[in-house]
Structure 1
Amino acid sequence: MRIIPVLDLKGGQVVRAEQGRRDRYRPIVTPLSGSADIVAVAEGLRSVHPFSTFYIADLDAIEGGIPNGEALARLTAATPGAPELWVDAGLADMAGFAAALATPSLCPVLGSESQKDAGALRRFRDRHDLILSLDFFAEGFRGPAELLDNAELWPNRVIVMTLAKVGSAAGPDFARLREIKARAGEREVIAAGGVRHETDLRELAGLGISAALVATSLHDGTLTGAQIAKLAMA
Structure 2
Amino acid sequence: MELILAVDLKDGLVVHGKSGRRDQYAPLTWGPASTAEPVGFVRALRPAYLYIADLDRIEGRGEHDRAVKDCAPLVKHMYLDRGCRTPEDYLQYLGVSTIVGTETGGTDLSRYHGGYLSLDIRDGGVLPTGADPESFLAATSRYSFDGYILLNIQAVGTEEGLDPDQLARYRTACTGRLFYGGGVKGVEDLDALKNAGFDGAIVATAVHRGIIPLDAVRRGQWS
2:107 aligned with 1:117: yes
- Relative to structure 1, is the Cα distance of residues 70 and 230 closer, same or farther in structure 2, using a 3 angstrom cutoff? closer
Report the counterpart of residue 213 of structure 2 in structure 1. Answer: 224
What's 1:39 paired with?
Answer: 39
What is the identity percentage for the equivalent residue pairs of Structure 1 and Structure 2?
Answer: 27
- Tell me: CA distance 1:233–1:183, structure 2 relative to 1, closer, same or farther (3 Å): closer
Inter-partner Cα distance in structure 1 for 2:149 and 2:43: 24
Q: Would you say how many aligned residue pairs link Structure 1 and Structure 2?
A: 218
Letter in 1 for 2:88: A
In 1, Cα distance between the equivalents of 2:141 and 2:38? 36
* Corresponding residue to 1:66 among 49, 53, 62: 62
Q: Is the 8 A contact 1:156 1:188 kept in 2?
A: yes
**Residue 178 of structure 1 aligns with which residue?**
168
Q: Which residue of 1 is the match for residue 15 of structure 2?
A: 15
1:9-66 superposed Cα distances (whole Å, 9 cap, x missing partner): 00010000211111110000223111211112212221xxxx3221000000001111
Aligned 1:72-91 pairs, distance under 5 A: 72-76=68-72, 79=74, 83-91=76-84
Q: Secondary structure at the match of 1:114?
A: coil
Task: Give distance in 2, aligned partners of 1:204 and 1:16.
Answer: 23
Q: How far off its partner does 1:175 sit? A: 4.9
Report the counterpart of residue 121 of structure 2 in structure 1: 136
Q: Provide closer, same or farther for how the CA distance between residues 92 and 223 of structure 1 changes in structure 2, counting only shifts above 3 A.
A: same
C-alpha separation in 2, matches of 1:66 and 1:233? 35
Q: How does 1:50-61 map to 2 (within 5 A)?
A: 51-61=47-57
Write out per-residue CA displacement over residues 44-92 of structure 1, whole angstroms, 9 at most, x where no aligned residue.
221xxxx322100000000111111222233236x2xx53221101011
Contact 1:5 1:54 in 2 (8 A): yes
CA contact (8 A) 2:2 2:222 kept: no
> Which position in structure 2 is the counterpart of 1:205?
194
* 2:221 match: secondary structure: helix
Instruction: Specify whether residues 141 and 207 from structure 1 end up closer, same or farther in structure 2 by C-alpha distance, changes over 3 A only.
Output: same
Relative distance call for 1:202 and 1:7 in structure 2 (3 A) is same
Structure 1 contact 5–45 (Cα < 8 Å) conserved? no
Question: Which structure shows the bigger proportion of residues in helix conformation?
Answer: 1
Rounded Cα–Cα distance in structure 2 between residues aligned with 1:115 and 1:31: 33
Alpha-carbon distance in structure 2 between the residues aligned to 1:208 and 1:157 = 14
Unaligned runs of 5+ in 1: none
Q: Label 1:141 to 1:176 Cα distance change in 2 as closer, same or farther (>3 A).
A: farther
Distance 1:17 1:32, change over 3 A: same
> TM-score, length-normalised on structure 2?
0.87
Stretch deviating more after TM superposition (164-173 or 19-28):
164-173
Which residue number in structure 2 is paired with residue 29 of structure 1?
29
